[in-house]
């Protein structure tokens, strides 16, 4: 048996341990910072703390300190933006490899692939002259309506933590900083600029912060991006609790905090509460006094004036400057190579992540894979089979060097088949921030698709969401869980016209599936970037055996979601405040604790082979909070082709003195086995992972007593439950 490493990821993984060492600040670097600071004027120091263009902040030209260059993030290096406004610069040398969206990366449950992803992205960032890449995003998936869920790593804090760390290390080993975003609680786009989140300490610590902590403490992230929203009455970009107390205090973060673009609102708070770099204020084009606009930033002249008058302590400035110079020594002033753009290796990484990220949700009667050797007619229906998905969606959109559409991918891998296409529905022109209805006649599109489907041997519907406003797109949330543009009706009509119907969903969010029982197969394909079509066709044709697992729950209805169970104050809020009343019970934690059956559960994902998980046992049924729970199991590939399975370990605490979720993911491992092969799997679970955050003592606490250790291959497919006693 071997861990499910692609050869590619294995290569990259060898560098994992050595990642950031040479760029950790030593006394040498700190002395050089001292020396630079001693030579800098107060004006030069303040200048470092704010933008000089949309995506750069200044250096100290007189002392040879270079400016910092930033780029979105998080799925590739964004095309160049104009110096002073949001328009694209129109360069012809600024395209990139589009990597799969982070939901797809999370679905791989494969940290080695996350490292390979970060590694390739770091190389491309460097090639494009970037010092800071604005990602990864690890806001927790709280509601399927959040327009930006596709940029994040799902609903589980442990999974997101495990997956974010290698990404950070992979990027930063190239001397390019990550900016882990959006810190914190930016769990919706609606009213993101001002909504005030009220959340308990437990939910904050147990659900919303762990992935940020992992990125900083384990991954060594060099920058963190503040969120637009407020927490407990204070904007997150200069939030005393989040930045000073937790990030820079408890987590000892020694890097720089950057605003989200336009996320600063107050000079005094920004100065005192740990904001280091202000970006994107006056984001609407700097219409008045262009030359001086950057000087008017909260951390520009107003800050300088307050420092000069003694209204704000000089120590705040020195701390910011030290952190910014440290960031520069790690990036622009470090010894680094020139990077790599594109090429077969980056395409292979994108395809490997896409392959492992695709989740086979349903497969009745072995509908998938489709036979590539017969001369059948395949009707591909649906706009997402041809629509460019690397554009749109907001700041994460990319100018991809190429993008293989699902239709082209299918045509390439079914050379014997006659592949016919009909659009079926129209999702409207791509738009960010605007809803543009399609001018096409929906009924005619539907009729044409039904006719195309009727005579085919098999129908593959490729639909889902797209990246237009109110779909999977920044600056707005979806308006319902249902598929838009009449797709439910279309799927029903297709089924009536042709009984052999498979569905491929391209989306970054869960959708309702009133037709779930009537279709033969369902593939969740996320947004897969440059290699999308190839990766989808790999799975449809069986060239790749799917092994992705859902990093989110698919609810049957919105009312089954914790955040939607307490009225509008819990989501989307009353436009001023929002209360996270479901508390720690987010995603499957809510479903399982309240006995609500999801449509597809967190951790679910089928394979073209079958696995048996047996002989699950604990090395010891007792341990202390400081020890590690060790368990073994026998995993057998009982089917006829090789494949990979994710063994998932969930924990529950019966009779806890605090509210607990019925189960929480606390460990997992992904294993590849040949047909018929069997292996013993060992998983370690440090007992400290069983801790809850005690609000009284403000400490992580492992409650003594009995815990249920549930081992399975999905949150709703537990093979065995064992008891462990923590003394």
Handedness of CA 240, 243, 249, 251 (dihedral sign): positive
Give the C-alpha separation, 678 to 634, whole Å. Answer: 7
CB of 213 to ligand BGC, least distance (A): 20
Q: Tell me the three state secondary structure of residue 525.
A: coil
Q: Single out the residue of 77, 96, 113, 134 in contact with ligand BGC (rule: CB under 6 A).
A: 134
Which residue, 262 or 686, is less far from ligand BGC as judged by CB?
262
CB-nearer residue toward ligand BGC: 277 or 644:
277
CB of 385 to ligand BGC, least distance (A): 29
Nearer to ligand BGC, 261 or 693 (CB): 261
Q: Are 218 and 166 in contact (CB under 8 A)?
A: no
Tell me the backbone φ, ψ of residue 452, rounded to 5 degrees: -65, -40
Q: At what angle do helices 532-541 and 344-357 cross, to 10 degrees?
A: 50
Contact track, ligand BGC, 361-400, x by CB under 6 A: ----------------------------------x-----
Question: Per DSSP, what are the bridge partners of residue 617?
Answer: 632
Closest distance of CB 303 from ligand BGC, Å: 22
Q: 332 or 395: whose CB is closer to ligand BGC?
A: 395
* Cβ-based nearer residue to ligand BGC, 6 or 146: 146
Q: What is the total count of residues that contact ligand BGC (CB under 6 A)?
A: 7
Q: Tell me the two tokens of residue 115.
A: 């490292």
Q: Which positions from 52 through 81 interact with ligand BGC, judged by CB under 6 A?
A: 72-73
- Please report how close the Cβ of residue 366 comes to ligand BGC at its closest, in angstroms: 42
Q: Which own/partner contact pairs does 78-82 have at CB distance under 8 Å and 24+ positions apart? A: 78/395, 78/396, 78/397, 78/398, 78/399, 79/398, 79/399, 81/54, 81/55, 82/54
Give yes or no for a contact between 485 and 502, defined as CB atoms under 8 angstroms apart: no
Q: Specify whether the backbone of 34 is left (phi greater than 0), alpha (psi in -120 to 50) or beta.
A: alpha
Name the minimum Å distance from CB 134 to ligand BGC: 4
Tell me how far, at minimum, the Cβ of 392 lies from ligand BGC, in Å: 14
CB atoms within 10 A of CB 310: 8
Nearest to 153, CA basis, from 508, 462, 457, 666: 508
Tell me: does residue 156 bind ligand BGC (CB under 6 A). Answer: no
Sheet with 622-623: strands ordered across = 2-3, 664-673, 643-652, 705-714, 717-726, 622-623
* Pair 605, 550: CB distance under 8 Å: yes
Judge residue 448's burial from the number of C-beta atoms within 10 Å of its C-beta, 0-12 exposed, 13-18 middle, 19 or more buried: middle
- CB-based burial of residue 589 (10 Å sphere; 0-12 exposed, 13-18 middle, 19+ buried)? buried
CB of 432 to ligand BGC, least distance (A): 11
Catalytic residue among 260, 520, 538, 583: 260
Q: How far apart are CA 570 and CA 580, in angstroms?
A: 5
Rounded Cα distance between 486 and 520, Å, is 20
Q: Is 150 in the site for ligand BGC (CB under 6 A)?
A: no
Residue nearest to ligand BGC (CB): 395
Interacting positions 430-469 with ligand BGC (CB under 6 A): none
Minimum distance of ligand BGC from residue 580's CB (angstroms): 20
Q: How far apart are the C-alpha atoms of 459 and 518, rounded to whole Å?
A: 13
Backbone dihedral region for residue 252 (phi beyond 0: left; psi -120 to 50: alpha; all else: beta)? left
In the complex, what is the shortest distance from the CB of residue 73 to ligand BGC, in angstroms, rounded to a whole number?
A: 6
Nearer to ligand BGC by C-beta: 280 or 603?
A: 280
Cβ 599 vs Cβ 555: under 8 Å: yes
SS3 96: strand
Positions in 539-558 near ligand BGC (CB under 6 A) = none
Question: For residues 228 and 602, which CB has a smaller minimum distance to ligand BGC in the complex?
Answer: 228
Residue 260 is a catalytic residue: yes
Question: 704 preceded by cis ω (within 30°)?
Answer: no
Question: Whose Cβ is closer to ligand BGC: residue 177's or residue 503's?
Answer: 177
Tell me, residue by residue from 510 to 539, as one string, x for binding to ligand BGC by CB under 6 A and - for no binding. Answer: ------------------------------
Position 181 contacts ligand BGC (CB under 6 A): yes
Nearer to ligand BGC, 278 or 645 (CB): 278
Closest CB to ligand BGC among 181 and 346?
A: 181
Q: Per-residue x/- mask for ligand BGC, residues 240 to 279, rule CB under 6 A?
A: --------------------xx------------------
Instruction: Find the shortest distance in angstroms from Cβ 357 to ligand BGC.
Output: 21
Task: Return residues touching ligand BGC (CB under 6 A).
Answer: 72-73, 134, 181, 260-261, 395
List the catalytic residues: 260
């Amino acid at each position: 048996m071997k861990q499910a490493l692609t050869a590619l990821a294995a290569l990259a993984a060898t560098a994992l341990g050595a990642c950031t060492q040479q760029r950790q600040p030593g006394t040498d670097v700190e002395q050089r910072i001292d020396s630079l600071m001693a030579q800098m004027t107060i004006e030069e120091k303040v200048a470092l703390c704010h933008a000089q263009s949309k995506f750069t902040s200044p250096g100290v030209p007189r002392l040879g300190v270079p400016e910092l260059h930033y780029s979105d993030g998080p799925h590739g290096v964004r095309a160049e933006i104009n110096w002073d406004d949001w328009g694209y610069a129109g360069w012809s040398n600024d395209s990139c490899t589009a990597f799969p969206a982070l939901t797809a990366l999370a679905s791989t449950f494969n940290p080695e692939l996350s490292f390979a992803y970060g590694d390739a992205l770091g190389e491309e960032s460097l090639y494009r002259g970037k010092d800071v890449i604005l990602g990864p995003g690890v806001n927790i998936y709280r509601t399927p309506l959040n327009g930006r869920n596709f940029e994040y790593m799902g609903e589980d804090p442990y999974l997101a933590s495990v997956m974010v760390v290698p990404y950070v290390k992979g990027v930063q080993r190239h001397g390019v900083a990550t900016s882990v975003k959006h810190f914190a609680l930016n769990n919706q786009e609606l009213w993101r600029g001002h909504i005030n989140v009220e959340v308990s300490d437990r939910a904050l610590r147990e659900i919303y912060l762990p992935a940020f902590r992992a990125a900083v403490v384990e991954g060594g992230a060099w920058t963190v991006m503040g969120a637009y929203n407020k927490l407990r009455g204070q904007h997150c970009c200069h939030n005393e609790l989040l930045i000073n107390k937790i990030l820079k205090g408890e987590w000892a973060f020694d890097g720089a905090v950057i605003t989200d673009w336009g996320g600063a609102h107050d000079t005094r708070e920004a100065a005192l509460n740990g904001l280091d770099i202000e970006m994107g204020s006056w984001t609407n084009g700097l219409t008045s006094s262009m030359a001086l606009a950057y000087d008017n930033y909260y951390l520009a002249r107003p800050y300088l004036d307050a420092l000069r008058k003694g209204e704000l302590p000089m120590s705040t400035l020195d701390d910011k400057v030290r952190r910014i110079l440290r960031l520069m020594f790690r990036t622009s002033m470090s010894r680094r190579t020139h990077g790599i753009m594109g090429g077969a290796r980056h395409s292979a990484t994108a395809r490997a992540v896409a392959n492992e990220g695709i989740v086979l949700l349903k497969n009745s009667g072995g509908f998938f894979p489709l036979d590539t050797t017969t001369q059948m007619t395949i009707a591909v229906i649906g706009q997402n089979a041809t629509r460019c998905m690397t554009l749109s969606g907001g700041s994460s959109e990319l100018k991809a060097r190429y993008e293989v559409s699902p239709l082209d991918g299918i045509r390439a891998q079914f050379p014997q088949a006659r592949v016919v296409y009909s659009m079926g529905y129209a999702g409207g022109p791509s738009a960010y921030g605007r809803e543009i209805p399609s001018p096409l006649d929906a009924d005619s599109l539907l009729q044409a698709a039904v006719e195309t489907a009727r005579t085919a041997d098999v129908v593959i519907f490729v639909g889902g969401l797209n990246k237009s406003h109110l779909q999977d797109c920044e600056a707005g949330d979806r308006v319902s869980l249902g598929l838009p543009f009449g797709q439910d009706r279309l799927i029903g009509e297709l089924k009536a016209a042709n009984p052999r119907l498979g569905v491929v969903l391209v989306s970054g969010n869960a959708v309702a599936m009133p037709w779930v029982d009537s279709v033969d197969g369902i593939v969740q394909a996320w947004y897969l970037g440059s290699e999308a079509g190839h990766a989808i066709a790999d799975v449809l044709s069986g060239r790749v055996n799917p092994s992705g697992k859902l990093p989110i729950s698919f609810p049957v209805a919105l009312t089954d979601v914790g955040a939607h169970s307490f009225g509008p104050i819990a989501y989307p809020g009353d436009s001023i405040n929002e209360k996270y009343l479901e508390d720690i019970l987010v995603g499957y934690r809510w479903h399982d604790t309240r006995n609500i059956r999801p449509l597809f559960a967190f951790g679910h994902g089928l394979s073209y082979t079958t696995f048996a998980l047996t002989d699950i046992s604990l090395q010891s049924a007792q341990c202390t909070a400081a020890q590690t729970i060790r368990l073994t199991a026998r995993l057998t590939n009982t089917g006829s082709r090789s494949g990979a399975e994710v063994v998932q370990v969930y924990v529950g605490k019966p009779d806890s003195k605090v509210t607990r979720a019925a189960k929480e993911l606390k460990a997992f491992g992904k294993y590849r086995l040949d047909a018929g092969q069997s292996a013993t799997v060992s998983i370690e679970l440090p007992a400290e992972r069983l801790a809850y955050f005690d609000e009284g003592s403000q400490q992580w606490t492992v409650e003594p007593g009995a815990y249920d250790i549930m081992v399975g291959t999905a949150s709703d497919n537990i093979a065995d439950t064992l008891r462990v006693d923590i003394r």
